Amino acid sequence: MSLESEIIVSHYFLLMMQTLEQTHPTFLKLKSLLAEIEDIYGATSVLHWDQKTYMPSKGSGARGRQLATLNQIAHEKFTDGTIEQLLDDLVSYERDLPYDSDEASLIRLTRRDCDRASKVPTEFEVRFSRLQTDCYEAWAIARAEQNFALVQPMLERMLEMSREYSGFFPEAQHIADPHIEGSDYGMSAVSIRSTFAELRAQLVPLIDAISHQPPVDQSCLQQHYPEAEQFAFCQSVLKQMGYDSERGRQDKTLHPFMTKFSIDDVRITTRVYENDLRQGLFSTIHEMGHAFYELGNAPELEGTPLAGGVSSGVHESQSRLWENLVGRSRPFWHYFYPQLQAHFPSQLGAIPLDTFYRAINKVNRSLIRTDADEITYNLHVMIRFDLELDLLEGTLMVKDLPAAWNDRYSSDLGVTPTSDSNGVLQDVHWYTGQIGGMFQGYTLGNLMSAQFFDAAIAAHPEITDRIAIGDFTVLHDWLQTNIYRHGRKYTAAETLDRVTGKSLSTQPLMNYIRCKYGELYGI
């Protein structure tokens, strides 16, 4: 037998083995039950999306009940012992599977999710689901009326329930850890505090140095940009960057987000400010980065807990990579700026590319996280992370949160909110999610985005040249192969190690920032 036919035989054997594995009846039963649960969560995502896009205001009461009922059913199905039993029955089957295989990963991930979920009573999930709806509605009103007091009682209940949640994990080292574990598995309050301190120590002197340079003129961005035209330009950018309109769409919401109903229906939203070009533009690219990740999952992960992204940090690394390392780069605007000028000739026709590029990268101590530059952005995140911990630890009361928020903005960023809306009410997260584990992912994402981008460039140095001619496929394909297709198969630490050969580090981001902003500010 020649070597070639040996290979063919063994390949065939492997395929056959895989087929046999896939038809293991217990495994199939597990997959089918998980698919049902995924269907229910897919439906809740549609209900959430509708609530934030098109639902008439008085629909919220029933929507809360519907979401609570669906969450209850899904949580019960996940934790009623059936899946636990199937997982137990699969222990010996799992032992013979390669760690990397879809089957082993599915069992491993399901066990992790199921262990966590089973600690939380269904009754809690239902109560929490209702609170999320009520608190979101109260936030929307409070934000419109610029009055934190209107949502304070709801947020107090949210904090209470977030603390109650932590109580289901008595083994946790810190009250925030169950929340952090939920969004960034493998991280903890201690490890994040240490990473953030290290990053902060490098950022603060840099921001100081920049603040001593002559201020950048940003006025070209703050002209009148009609909403419809901005939206049209964003649609055109999405199309050229490869966001498939047959598998997604973009709508307008109070707070931009990405949501997934299935691998072929991953939607994004944006908000557009008519007096500032940045919000619509960069939130569009940001959410598109999230969507790329979900759309790039291997199709065979659909309907299983393997579909999705590794963690909040890794997910953010993808949105921030596209938003910043691509979307705020010179090559990107070399390609897109003439198109932007054509969309807005009276506003930008006479503005040179370099002026525009400097304007969108202006480092500026400001009030709004989603408007912040790449550097100060991390200080916004750290403020929120610290306040979350203070609230959970009980050293800060909800009623004192607006003042604490404003104090931190004054001391850390040198600016003070003029109202609750550009202060403590600006982000939806605490009001619709929970308190805890909500913000650290953004800065973890910034760190990882630079690590991943470095690895991509090392593998394909032509990436930046390609971006300059509007070709995003090399970068996209690399991300697809190395990150997107694996879904939740690996942990964040495993992903970093597999893709970059290193663990989490502040150096790639700091190198990127020093290089880019050194050039921009001559420091």
Q: How far is the CB of 308 from a second copy (least distance, A)?
A: 14
Using an 8 Å Cβ cutoff, are 141 and 417 in contact? Answer: no
Q: How far is the CB of 256 from a second copy (least distance, A)?
A: 17
Q: Of 287, 294, 316, 388, which residue is the catalytic one?
A: 287
Question: Starting at the edge strand that comes first in sequence, how are the strands of the sheet with 250-252 ordered?
Answer: 250-252, 265-270, 258-262
Ranges within 69-128 binding a second copy (CB under 8 A): 69-70, 73
Q: How far is the CB of 302 from a second copy (least distance, A)?
A: 7
Q: Is 226 in the site for a second copy (CB under 8 A)?
A: no
Measured CA distances, 285 to 250, 331, 362, 491 (Å): 11, 15, 18, 25
Q: How far is the CB of 297 from a second copy (least distance, A)?
A: 13
The angle formed by the CA atoms of residues 105, 312 and 54, to the nearest 5 degrees, is 110
Bridge partners (DSSP) listed for residue 336? none
Distance in angstroms (rounded) separating the CA atoms of residues 175 and 179: 8
Measured CA distances, 229 to 225, 234, 272, 335 (Å): 7, 9, 10, 19
Ranges within 16-45 binding a second copy (CB under 8 A): 35-36, 39-40, 42-44
| Residues 336-358 as b or e (16 or more Cβ within 10 Å = b) | bbeebbeebeebbeebebeebbb
Ranges within 233-262 binding a second copy (CB under 8 A): 244-249, 251, 261-262
Three-class SS state of 268: strand
Residue 65 or 163 with smaller CB distance to a second copy: 65
Instruction: Outline where 371-491 has alpha helix (H).
Output: 377-393, 401-408, 429-432, 440-459, 463-468, 473-482
Q: How far is the CB of 151 from a second copy (least distance, A)?
A: 20
Ranges within 40-69 binding a second copy (CB under 8 A): 40, 42-44, 46-47, 49-50, 54-59, 61-63, 65-66, 68-69
Q: Is 299 in the site for a second copy (CB under 8 A)?
A: no
Three-class SS state of 261: strand
Report the candidate in 433, 513, 463 with the shortest Cα–Cα distance to residue 183: 433
Q: Is 302 a catalytic residue?
A: no
Residue 267 or 488 with smaller CB distance to a second copy: 267
Report how many residues bind a second copy under the rule CB under 8 A.
Answer: 41
Q: Is 508 in the site for a second copy (CB under 8 A)?
A: no
Distance in angstroms (rounded) separating the CA atoms of residues 59 and 161: 24
Q: Is 265 in the site for a second copy (CB under 8 A)?
A: yes
Distance in angstroms (rounded) separating the CA atoms of residues 11 and 19: 12
Q: How far is the CB of 269 from a second copy (least distance, A)?
A: 12
Residue 207 or 295 with smaller CB distance to a second copy: 295
Q: How far is the CB of 298 from a second copy (least distance, A)?
A: 15
DSSP symbol at 348: H
Cα–chain center distance at 23: 35
Residue 262 or 505 with smaller CB distance to a second copy: 262
Cα–chain center distance at 497: 20
Residue 31 or 179 with smaller CB distance to a second copy: 31
Q: Is 222 in the site for a second copy (CB under 8 A)?
A: no
Query: Hey, which residues are catalytic here?
Result: 287
Q: Which residues bind a second copy (CB under 8 A)?
A: 35-36, 39-40, 42-44, 46-47, 49-50, 54-59, 61-63, 65-66, 68-70, 73, 244-249, 251, 261-265, 267, 302-303
